[in-house]
Structure 1
Amino acid sequence: MRAKVQVFLKPGVLDVQGKAVEHALHGLGWGEVADVRVGRTIEFDLKSADATAAEAEVKAMCEKLLANTVIEGYRVEVA
């Protein structure tokens, strides 16, 4: 199975990288862009025949390593 995890800062947490990208886009002429948020995507293969168990396992990985759950949220897709 292929797992895809999207990690992003929670609302209210300052996204310094997002602000830098927003400023750069404005400087390049795209002034209508607002509220830029930057996240990351982690994709990997997982040997599992059960999609429900695989999703639970990936969520456990997020809680322990892949996301800082104090300031970040995450979305998991398993296919």
Structure 2
Amino acid sequence: MKSRSPGSILGVCVEKTAGRQGTAALALGALGVVYGDIGTSPLYTMKETFAPATGVALNAANLVGVASVIVWALM
């Protein structure tokens, strides 16, 4: 009688399942890198827009304008 692995009894290839889990983990990590960077970009945008070297005044109109650009860029 031939010995069978648990994966073959269930009809699942163990190697493919492990590969899929690894791929899913890498995909999740890549999403974290991309969206984590996008999540912090608005903070840098505000900081750099209103830096003294740019000459952009910190007033309501400019603040709303920069916030609008950030929102539309994320959509």
Same fold (TM > 0.5): no
Structure with larger Rg: 2
Normalized per residue, which structure has more helix? 2
Query: Higher relative contact order by CA 8 Å / sep ≥ 6: 1 or 2?
Result: 1
TM normalised by structure 2 equals 0.30
TM-score by length of 1: 0.29
